[in-house]
Amino acid sequence: MARANESHVCQSCGAVYSKWQGRCDDCGEWNTIAAEAGEAGPPGSLGAGKKTKGKIVDFTTLKGGGEFEPRLLTGNAEFDRACGGGLVPGSALLIGGDPGVGKSTLLLQIAAGVAKGGARVAYLSGEEATAQIRLRAQRLGLDEAPVALASATALRDILATLKADKPDVVIIDSIQTLWSDALPAAPGTVTQVRASAQELIRFAKGSGAVLFLVGHVTKDGQIAGPRVVEHMVDAVLYFESEQGRAFRLLRAVKNRFGAAHEIGVFEMTGGGLREVANPSELFLSEPGEPAPGASVFAGVEGTRPLLVEFQALVSPTTFAAPRRAVVGWDNARLSMMLAVLDARCGLEFGRHDVFLNVAGGLRIAEPAADLAAAAALCSSLFDRPLPKTHVVFGEVALSGAIRPAPQAEARLKEAKKLGFKGAVAPKGGDESPIPVTCVETLGDLVQWVRCADG
């Protein structure tokens, strides 16, 4: 029986229903709808309870307003890069990630870095006791940093403290642990998470503090995903890692003050997170004899060029339906590439099992990776190693034509920096830091692979 003041809220997207149902119509997630008592009040209604008349708001112009406050640098180049070049005062950032990926560790290091730079930092943890955080800080050698540390989960207390203390940077670890006594819903529910985030963001905008919210991402939707918060904050950064690997990517999926898809690369070590200033080296295989089926893709993540190795294995199949497996690239994209190679270049991938892997555990989503994948596939099919001195990039159309890739110059510069001697790419600008072998169709690439001298 549903109680009178009970509503059913999707724990993934926050959609409200009058009765329970198995699937959320809004976000399509299954089994995420749960009964919650009451509804969130309007922002700022905490404890107010009285109706007042609206005030007239003053309009201003786009121009003027004097100097902007400079961005706050954290002293961590990778983090600053992912944020679009430092922290903007008065902004709210959401750091999402799986449990155990290192969100608390990263933010503790950032807190210490900012505090050492002279800013006032408040670190509020609802997950760990202060003693546990101190222990971690000691292990990371950060216990001297002047960070104000507290363990609290009551939103009212936190807001009162922040209003009295006026820190420059506030870190809330995590948003799911906060609860407001003005709402009857349980902590961790969408209603609570949304209301808490709203109040804290209001505080940040009003006071000019930088607000970090940590949010857990859970697959089963038991705890409110930070999805609802994503719309409210200025930047959403995802901290990701491939299972069983030490490196971590901080990826900006939304940023009102910088480029989205910007990445910062870290490595988890015994002494905390270490910045990886030159990630291309991480994703390229060891030097040595070139092997068939390997090609180097000159990619770009955000504004950062990144070289990654594609590895393919093509072998005659014994099955009626050949096997296709891909790690780090899109499955549908692989099928498309194989179909185009078969149809336009007369190759016979249909009779082969195909395995494709992106080295280092990175996931590539760029269309410009098509050509590098095709090069790796052909190299394995012909059993001809590609020269280790060349990078490959370009988007492949269904017709087999190669389309230019954005930021070609940045890719070529990075390749040159890492000692590559040439590139295979669609026709681009006039000047190039390294010689480019221009390919106009997929046939040209196949020809290049056939004649390649590995």
Contact residues for ligand TYD, defined by CB under 6 A: 97, 99-105, 136, 139-140, 268, 270-272
Provide the minimum distance between the beta carbon of 263 and ligand TYD in the complex, in angstroms, as a whole number. Answer: 17
Q: Which is nearer to ligand TYD, 218 or 335 (CB)?
A: 218
Interaction partner, residue 136 (Mg ion, ligand TYD, none; CB < 5-8 Å by kind): ligand TYD
Interaction partner, residue 64 (ligand TYD, Mg ion, none; CB < 5-8 Å by kind): none
The answer to whether the Cα torsion of 251, 253, 259, 261 is positive or negative is: positive
* Cis peptide upstream of residue 18 (ω within 30 degrees of 0): no
Phi then psi dihedrals of residue 9, to 5 deg: -120, 135
Residue 412 CA to residue 432 CA, distance in Å, equals 7
Question: 156, 46 in Cβ contact below 8 A?
Answer: yes
Burial class (CB in 10 A: 0-12, 13-18, 19+), 144: exposed
Residues in the chain: 454
If binding is defined by CB under 5 A, does position 74 make contact with Mg ion?
no
Provide the minimum distance between the beta carbon of 10 and ligand TYD in the complex, in angstroms, as a whole number. Answer: 24
Q: Which is nearer to Mg ion, 215 or 302 (CB)?
A: 215
Provide the minimum distance between the beta carbon of 34 and ligand TYD in the complex, in angstroms, as a whole number. Answer: 23
Provide the minimum distance between the beta carbon of 107 and ligand TYD in the complex, in angstroms, as a whole number. Answer: 8
Q: Which is nearer to Mg ion, 131 or 164 (CB)?
A: 131
Q: Which is nearer to Mg ion, 104 or 311 (CB)?
A: 104
Residue 56 CA to residue 239 CA, distance in Å, equals 42
AA identity, residue 184? P
Interaction partner, residue 268 (ligand TYD, Mg ion, none; CB < 5-8 Å by kind): ligand TYD
Q: Output the 3-class SS for 262-276.
A: CEEEEEEECCEEEEC
Phi then psi dihedrals of residue 390, to 5 deg: -120, 145
**Interface residue with Mg ion, options 76, 104, 295, 357 (CB under 5 A):** 104
Residue 399 CA to residue 427 CA, distance in Å, equals 17
Give me the half-sphere count of Cα atoms (radius 13 Å) on the Cβ side of residue 294.
Answer: 20
Provide the minimum distance between the beta carbon of 98 and ligand TYD in the complex, in angstroms, as a whole number. Answer: 7
Provide the minimum distance between the beta carbon of 119 and Mg ion in the complex, in angstroms, as a whole number. Answer: 22
Residue 239 CB contacts under 8 Å (≥ 6 apart), including other chains: 95, 96, 97, 101, 102, 103, 106, 248, 249, 250, 251
Interaction partner, residue 386 (Mg ion, ligand TYD, none; CB < 5-8 Å by kind): none
Provide the minimum distance between the beta carbon of 358 and Mg ion in the complex, in angstroms, as a whole number. Answer: 28
**Distances in whole angstroms, Cα of residue 423 to Cα of each of 1, 53, 386, 396:** 67, 66, 12, 16
Residue 149 CA to residue 194 CA, distance in Å, equals 24
Tokens 């087999």 sit on residue: 400
Q: Which stretch binds Mg ion (CB under 5 A): 104-112, 261-269, 345-353, 417-425?
A: 104-112
Q: Which is nearer to Mg ion, 112 or 377 (CB)?
A: 112
Instruction: Show the tokens assigned to 311.
Output: 């590895």
What b-and-e string marks burial along 63-89, b requiring 16 or more CB atoms within 10 Å of the CB? eeeeeeeebbbbebebbbbbbbebbbb
- Residue 150, strand partner residues: 124
Question: 105, 214 in Cβ contact below 8 A?
Answer: no
Q: Which is nearer to ligand TYD, 177 or 191 (CB)?
A: 177
Provide the minimum distance between the beta carbon of 102 and ligand TYD in the complex, in angstroms, as a whole number. Answer: 4
Which residue has the CB atom at the shortest distance from Mg ion?
104
Provide the minimum distance between the beta carbon of 187 and ligand TYD in the complex, in angstroms, as a whole number. Answer: 17
Q: Which is nearer to ligand TYD, 89 or 187 (CB)?
A: 187
Interaction partner, residue 271 (ligand TYD, Mg ion, none; CB < 5-8 Å by kind): ligand TYD
Q: Which is nearer to ligand TYD, 11 or 105 (CB)?
A: 105
Provide the minimum distance between the beta carbon of 190 and ligand TYD in the complex, in angstroms, as a whole number. Answer: 21
What is the DSSP pairing of strand 210-216 with strand 169-173?
parallel
Q: Which is nearer to Mg ion, 104 or 280 (CB)?
A: 104
Q: What is the contact surface with Mg ion in residues (CB under 5 A)? A: 104
